[in-house]
Structure 1
Amino acid sequence: MTVETISDFTLGGVHHIQLSIPPGGEGLSRVFWGDLLGMTELEKPLEPGSLGGCRFRGGGLEVHLVVETDFRPFRKAHPAVLVHCLGDLARRLEDKGHPVTWGEGIPGFDCFHTFDKVGNRLEFLEPRNSF
Protein backbone atom coordinates (compact mmCIF):
# COMPACT_ATOMS: atom_id res chain seq x y z
CA MET A 1 0.00 0.00 0.00
CA THR A 2 1.35 3.39 -0.95
CA VAL A 3 0.72 6.39 1.28
CA GLU A 4 0.36 9.64 -0.62
CA THR A 5 1.62 12.78 1.04
CA ILE A 6 -0.51 15.87 0.56
CA SER A 7 1.36 19.01 1.46
CA ASP A 8 -0.56 21.83 -0.20
CA PHE A 9 -3.18 22.17 2.55
CA THR A 10 -3.78 21.53 6.23
CA LEU A 11 -7.03 20.56 7.90
CA GLY A 12 -7.64 22.91 10.81
CA GLY A 13 -10.45 21.42 12.88
CA VAL A 14 -14.23 21.54 12.83
CA HIS A 15 -16.10 24.85 12.55
CA HIS A 16 -19.59 23.46 13.08
CA ILE A 17 -21.76 20.40 13.14
CA GLN A 18 -25.19 20.35 11.59
CA LEU A 19 -28.05 18.32 12.99
CA SER A 20 -31.65 18.03 11.91
CA ILE A 21 -34.61 18.88 14.10
CA PRO A 22 -38.34 18.41 13.49
CA PRO A 23 -40.62 21.31 12.60
CA GLY A 24 -41.18 23.30 15.81
CA GLY A 25 -38.09 21.76 17.46
CA GLU A 26 -36.33 25.07 18.08
CA GLY A 27 -37.69 25.42 21.63
CA LEU A 28 -36.44 21.99 22.68
CA SER A 29 -33.10 22.75 21.02
CA ARG A 30 -32.79 26.02 22.94
CA VAL A 31 -33.36 24.16 26.20
CA PHE A 32 -30.72 21.51 25.40
CA TRP A 33 -27.98 23.46 23.61
CA GLY A 34 -28.55 26.83 25.28
CA ASP A 35 -29.85 26.26 28.81
CA LEU A 36 -28.39 22.81 29.51
CA LEU A 37 -25.04 23.00 27.70
CA GLY A 38 -24.58 26.76 28.14
CA MET A 39 -23.98 27.56 24.48
CA THR A 40 -24.85 31.02 23.13
CA GLU A 41 -27.56 31.24 20.51
CA LEU A 42 -26.43 33.00 17.34
CA GLU A 43 -28.51 35.03 14.96
CA LYS A 44 -29.43 32.72 12.10
CA PRO A 45 -28.96 34.25 8.66
CA LEU A 46 -32.13 34.47 6.63
CA GLU A 47 -31.89 31.80 3.95
CA PRO A 48 -34.32 31.51 1.03
CA GLY A 49 -36.75 28.66 1.66
CA SER A 50 -35.61 28.19 5.26
CA LEU A 51 -38.06 26.35 7.46
CA GLY A 52 -36.55 27.70 10.67
CA GLY A 53 -33.87 26.25 12.86
CA CYS A 54 -31.31 27.82 15.17
CA ARG A 55 -27.56 28.01 15.79
CA PHE A 56 -25.38 27.91 18.91
CA ARG A 57 -21.72 28.57 19.72
CA GLY A 58 -19.64 27.53 22.70
CA GLY A 59 -16.19 26.18 23.42
CA GLY A 60 -14.93 26.85 19.91
CA LEU A 61 -17.75 24.86 18.28
CA GLU A 62 -20.92 25.85 16.47
CA VAL A 63 -24.01 23.69 16.21
CA HIS A 64 -26.38 24.43 13.34
CA LEU A 65 -29.84 22.93 13.77
CA VAL A 66 -31.93 22.75 10.61
CA VAL A 67 -35.59 21.88 10.28
CA GLU A 68 -36.46 18.87 8.16
CA THR A 69 -40.11 18.11 7.50
CA ASP A 70 -39.36 14.38 7.29
CA PHE A 71 -37.12 14.50 10.39
CA ARG A 72 -35.55 11.27 11.62
CA PRO A 73 -33.09 11.58 14.52
CA PHE A 74 -29.56 10.19 14.35
CA ARG A 75 -29.69 6.90 16.26
CA LYS A 76 -26.18 5.63 15.41
CA ALA A 77 -24.38 8.37 13.50
CA HIS A 78 -23.33 11.16 15.86
CA PRO A 79 -21.00 14.08 16.42
CA ALA A 80 -18.34 13.63 19.10
CA VAL A 81 -17.64 16.71 21.20
CA LEU A 82 -14.52 17.16 23.33
CA VAL A 83 -15.30 18.19 26.91
CA HIS A 84 -13.32 19.28 29.93
CA CYS A 85 -14.76 17.80 33.18
CA LEU A 86 -16.74 15.05 31.46
CA GLY A 87 -18.09 13.65 34.74
CA ASP A 88 -19.61 17.01 35.64
CA LEU A 89 -21.38 17.19 32.27
CA ALA A 90 -22.67 13.62 32.70
CA ARG A 91 -24.15 14.49 36.12
CA ARG A 92 -25.75 17.66 34.74
CA LEU A 93 -27.32 15.80 31.83
CA GLU A 94 -28.62 13.03 34.06
CA ASP A 95 -29.99 15.55 36.58
CA LYS A 96 -31.96 17.12 33.70
CA GLY A 97 -33.40 13.83 32.46
CA HIS A 98 -30.84 12.83 29.83
CA PRO A 99 -29.45 9.39 30.67
CA VAL A 100 -25.84 8.80 29.65
CA THR A 101 -24.29 5.52 28.53
CA TRP A 102 -20.59 5.27 29.30
CA GLY A 103 -18.54 3.46 26.71
CA GLU A 104 -15.08 2.40 25.69
CA GLY A 105 -14.96 4.71 22.68
CA ILE A 106 -11.57 5.79 21.41
CA PRO A 107 -8.47 4.51 23.23
CA GLY A 108 -7.12 7.16 25.61
CA PHE A 109 -10.50 8.87 26.05
CA ASP A 110 -13.37 8.57 28.51
CA CYS A 111 -16.72 8.98 26.77
CA PHE A 112 -20.45 8.64 26.98
CA HIS A 113 -23.41 8.86 24.64
CA THR A 114 -26.70 10.60 25.21
CA PHE A 115 -29.53 12.02 23.12
CA ASP A 116 -30.65 15.61 22.66
CA LYS A 117 -34.28 16.57 23.26
CA VAL A 118 -35.34 15.59 19.72
CA GLY A 119 -33.58 12.20 19.79
CA ASN A 120 -30.25 12.84 18.03
CA ARG A 121 -27.41 10.69 19.38
CA LEU A 122 -24.42 12.63 20.74
CA GLU A 123 -21.03 11.56 22.07
CA PHE A 124 -19.02 13.56 24.59
CA LEU A 125 -15.42 12.64 25.30
CA GLU A 126 -12.41 13.75 27.28
CA PRO A 127 -8.78 12.70 26.90
CA ARG A 128 -7.63 10.71 29.93
CA ASN A 129 -4.68 13.08 30.27
CA SER A 130 -7.22 15.94 30.03
CA PHE A 131 -6.59 19.15 28.15
Structure 2
Amino acid sequence: MRIVGLHHAQITIPRGAEEQAREFYCGVLGLTEIEKPASLRARGGFWLQVGDREVHVGTEDGVDRRKTKAHLAYQVTDLAGWRKKLAEHGISVLESIPIPGYDRFEFRDPFGNRVEMIEQKD
Protein backbone atom coordinates (compact mmCIF):
# COMPACT_ATOMS: atom_id res chain seq x y z
CA MET A 1 0.00 0.00 0.00
CA ARG A 2 1.49 3.34 -1.05
CA ILE A 3 0.69 6.74 -2.52
CA VAL A 4 1.74 6.69 -6.18
CA GLY A 5 1.21 10.29 -7.26
CA LEU A 6 -0.87 13.42 -7.16
CA HIS A 7 -4.07 13.31 -9.21
CA HIS A 8 -5.34 16.87 -8.71
CA ALA A 9 -5.32 19.90 -6.48
CA GLN A 10 -8.24 22.21 -5.78
CA ILE A 11 -8.56 25.93 -5.32
CA THR A 12 -11.74 27.85 -4.63
CA ILE A 13 -13.40 30.96 -5.95
CA PRO A 14 -16.57 32.73 -4.77
CA ARG A 15 -19.87 31.22 -5.95
CA GLY A 16 -20.91 32.67 -9.28
CA ALA A 17 -17.39 33.81 -10.28
CA GLU A 18 -16.76 31.03 -12.80
CA GLU A 19 -16.68 33.26 -15.89
CA GLN A 20 -14.20 35.68 -14.31
CA ALA A 21 -12.09 32.70 -13.21
CA ARG A 22 -12.18 31.22 -16.73
CA GLU A 23 -11.03 34.57 -18.13
CA PHE A 24 -8.05 34.51 -15.78
CA TYR A 25 -7.09 30.84 -15.74
CA CYS A 26 -7.89 30.00 -19.36
CA GLY A 27 -7.44 33.44 -20.93
CA VAL A 28 -4.49 34.96 -19.05
CA LEU A 29 -2.69 31.80 -17.90
CA GLY A 30 -3.63 29.78 -20.99
CA LEU A 31 -4.77 26.66 -19.14
CA THR A 32 -7.23 24.28 -20.82
CA GLU A 33 -10.63 23.61 -19.31
CA ILE A 34 -11.57 19.93 -19.25
CA GLU A 35 -14.98 18.39 -18.88
CA LYS A 36 -16.24 18.06 -15.34
CA PRO A 37 -18.33 14.94 -14.67
CA ALA A 38 -22.07 15.55 -14.98
CA SER A 39 -22.58 14.29 -11.42
CA LEU A 40 -20.53 17.23 -10.08
CA ARG A 41 -21.60 20.10 -12.37
CA ALA A 42 -24.40 21.34 -10.12
CA ARG A 43 -21.79 22.24 -7.49
CA GLY A 44 -20.37 24.97 -9.73
CA GLY A 45 -16.76 25.51 -10.62
CA PHE A 46 -14.78 23.85 -13.40
CA TRP A 47 -11.68 21.74 -14.00
CA LEU A 48 -8.39 22.55 -15.70
CA GLN A 49 -5.67 20.42 -17.28
CA VAL A 50 -2.15 21.37 -16.17
CA GLY A 51 0.41 19.11 -17.81
CA ASP A 52 -0.49 15.59 -16.72
CA ARG A 53 -2.38 16.82 -13.63
CA GLU A 54 -5.66 18.57 -12.97
CA VAL A 55 -6.60 21.68 -11.03
CA HIS A 56 -10.18 21.71 -9.83
CA VAL A 57 -11.66 25.18 -9.37
CA GLY A 58 -14.46 24.85 -6.83
CA THR A 59 -16.83 27.43 -5.42
CA GLU A 60 -16.89 28.46 -1.78
CA ASP A 61 -18.13 31.58 -0.01
CA GLY A 62 -17.07 33.04 3.32
CA VAL A 63 -13.36 32.38 2.84
CA ASP A 64 -10.60 35.00 3.00
CA ARG A 65 -8.14 33.44 0.56
CA ARG A 66 -5.60 36.23 1.19
CA LYS A 67 -4.95 34.96 4.71
CA THR A 68 -3.46 31.62 3.74
CA LYS A 69 -0.03 30.52 2.60
CA ALA A 70 -1.59 27.52 0.82
CA HIS A 71 -0.86 27.70 -2.90
CA LEU A 72 -0.29 25.99 -6.19
CA ALA A 73 3.13 26.26 -7.83
CA TYR A 74 3.11 26.13 -11.62
CA GLN A 75 6.38 24.97 -13.17
CA VAL A 76 6.97 27.28 -16.14
CA THR A 77 9.39 28.28 -18.84
CA ASP A 78 10.31 31.93 -19.46
CA LEU A 79 9.64 33.22 -15.96
CA ALA A 80 10.49 36.77 -17.10
CA GLY A 81 7.83 36.51 -19.80
CA TRP A 82 5.26 35.42 -17.22
CA ARG A 83 6.20 38.34 -14.99
CA LYS A 84 5.60 40.73 -17.90
CA LYS A 85 2.32 39.10 -18.95
CA LEU A 86 0.90 39.24 -15.43
CA ALA A 87 1.92 42.90 -15.08
CA GLU A 88 0.12 43.66 -18.35
CA HIS A 89 -3.03 42.26 -16.73
CA GLY A 90 -2.61 44.31 -13.55
CA ILE A 91 -1.38 41.42 -11.40
CA SER A 92 1.19 42.44 -8.77
CA VAL A 93 4.14 40.08 -8.52
CA LEU A 94 5.78 39.42 -5.16
CA GLU A 95 9.34 38.18 -4.86
CA SER A 96 9.74 34.80 -3.21
CA ILE A 97 12.47 33.65 -0.87
CA PRO A 98 15.21 32.14 -3.09
CA ILE A 99 15.65 28.38 -3.17
CA PRO A 100 18.62 26.62 -4.79
CA GLY A 101 18.19 25.61 -8.41
CA TYR A 102 15.07 27.68 -9.12
CA ASP A 103 13.87 31.15 -9.96
CA ARG A 104 10.38 31.96 -8.76
CA PHE A 105 7.84 34.56 -7.78
CA GLU A 106 4.33 34.58 -6.44
CA PHE A 107 1.12 36.53 -6.85
CA ARG A 108 -2.51 36.44 -5.81
CA ASP A 109 -5.13 35.56 -8.41
CA PRO A 110 -8.19 37.84 -8.74
CA PHE A 111 -9.87 35.86 -5.92
CA GLY A 112 -6.99 36.02 -3.44
CA ASN A 113 -5.55 32.53 -4.03
CA ARG A 114 -1.77 32.49 -3.68
CA VAL A 115 -0.03 31.27 -6.85
CA GLU A 116 3.65 30.56 -7.44
CA MET A 117 5.45 30.47 -10.78
CA ILE A 118 8.69 28.49 -10.62
CA GLU A 119 11.35 27.81 -13.26
CA GLN A 120 14.27 25.44 -12.89
CA LYS A 121 17.63 27.07 -13.52
CA ASP A 122 19.94 25.55 -16.14
TM-score by length of 2: 0.85
Q: CA deviation at 1:10?
A: 6.5
5+ residue gaps in structure 2?
A: none
Counting only pairs closer than 5 Å after superposition, residues 35-114 of structure 1 correspond to structure 2 as: 35-47=27-39, 50-74=42-66, 75-114=68-107
- Letter aligned with residue 80 of structure 1: A
Residue in structure 1 matched with residue 16 of structure 2 by the alignment: 24
| Cα pair 1:57 1:63 within 8 Å, conserved | yes
Closer/same/farther in 2, CA of residues 103 and 48 from structure 1, 3 Å limit: closer
Q: Which stretches in structure 1 are left out of the alignment for 5+ residues?
A: 1-7
RMSD over aligned Cα atoms: 2.1
Per-residue CA deviations over 1:97-128 (Å, capped at 9, x if unaligned) read: 11111222432111100111111011110111
Name the count of aligned residue pairs.
Answer: 121
Question: Bigger radius of gyration, 1 or 2?
Answer: 1
Structure 1 segments of 4 or more deviating over 4 A?
Answer: none
Aligned-pair CA distance for 1:40: 1.1
Q: 1:103 & 1:70 partners in 2: Cα distance?
A: 28
Aligned counterpart in structure 2 of residue 34 of structure 1, from 4, 23, 26:
26
Distance change (3 Å), C-alpha of 1:54 and 1:106: same
- Tell me the TM-score normalized by structure 1: 0.80
Do 1:110 and 1:128's aligned partners in 2 also have CA atoms closer than 8 Å? yes
Change (3 A) 1:40 1:109: same
